[in-house]
Amino acid sequence: MKRVRQVTQVRPVPKKTSSTEAGVRLQKLISEAGVASRRAAEQLIVDGRVMVNGKAVRELGTRADPATDDIRVDGRRLPRPERRYLLMYKPRGYVSTRSDPEQRPTVIELLERARIRGYFYPVGRLDYDSDGLLILTNDGSFAERLMHPRYGLDRTYEARVRGVPDAKTLDRLRKGIPLDGERTQPADVNIVHVKEGQSTPQAIVEVVLREGRNRQVRRMFEAVGHPVLRLTRVRIGSIGIGILKPGEIRDLAPREIASLVKTKDARPKTKARAR
């Protein structure tokens, strides 16, 4: 059956969560797999009839990752979930993690409100104060490839910064800024628009990164004296925002998934020594 790509917009109303553990409760996984009801699944666990990675589990509340863990009931393996690849326009005011120790709203809560069931995790980060594109999936291998530095997947941002960086500053940003004792990788940095008419002019700057350090764009501009006022991730690889609005989610098309995994190894090739 053909999957509908566009999901009804989810209004970004903050919601608290108390879970800080990884994975999904076993009784929920068993119930969603159609093996037993939630209550019957709890009894299966207590009776020692459920095994995770070869070990019997008897404690209710035990969690597992259905994408990576071997979960069995009476020796029969629980069906692995269908691989799914989601594109979200993350609103500001959400953390891109499955849970948050500060009890801030998470992108997983947006999935729940959209009635998207299953164990998904974000591919990479997009900080609390930023908005824009974020991929979520239940395919660990896919996520690992997209996040691995060797493939240098382009991530394009639009940053509204205080002041207008001059040519010398733009060159510094392109060549790399020292952060935590290590220089950032070369980036594409270009001014798109300058907003005049204020006490301090502001510039809209497009930044293309091929690595993903924590709050990297904000820290780079802070280092050159042009703090970021607003940051949006507008593109991942060749995939843009399109018609998505903040809080909306859709499935990636097969051609989009293929374009992401076809990214070539970006590491410089070294010549073999002559013998």
Write out the catalytic residue numbers. 127
Mention every residue, 6+ apart, whose C-beta is less than 8 A from residue 194.
164, 201, 202, 203, 204
Count the Cβ atoms, other than its own, within 10 Å of residue 198: 8
- Nearest 5 degrees, angle CA 56-CA 18-CA 69? 30
Q: Name the residue among 227, 223, 252 with its Cα closest to residue 240.
A: 252
Region for residue 54 given its phi and psi (left: phi exceeds 0; alpha: psi -120 to 50; beta: otherwise): left
Residue 8 CA to chain centroid, in angstroms?
Answer: 20
Q: Are 234 and 133 in contact (CB under 8 A)?
A: yes
* 134 and 233 Cβ atoms separated by less than 8 Å: yes
Q: CA-CA-CA-CA torsion for 46, 34, 24, 89, nearest 10 degrees?
A: -170
Q: What are phi and psi of 129, to 5 degrees?
A: -85, 0
Structure token digits, residue 236:
């991942």
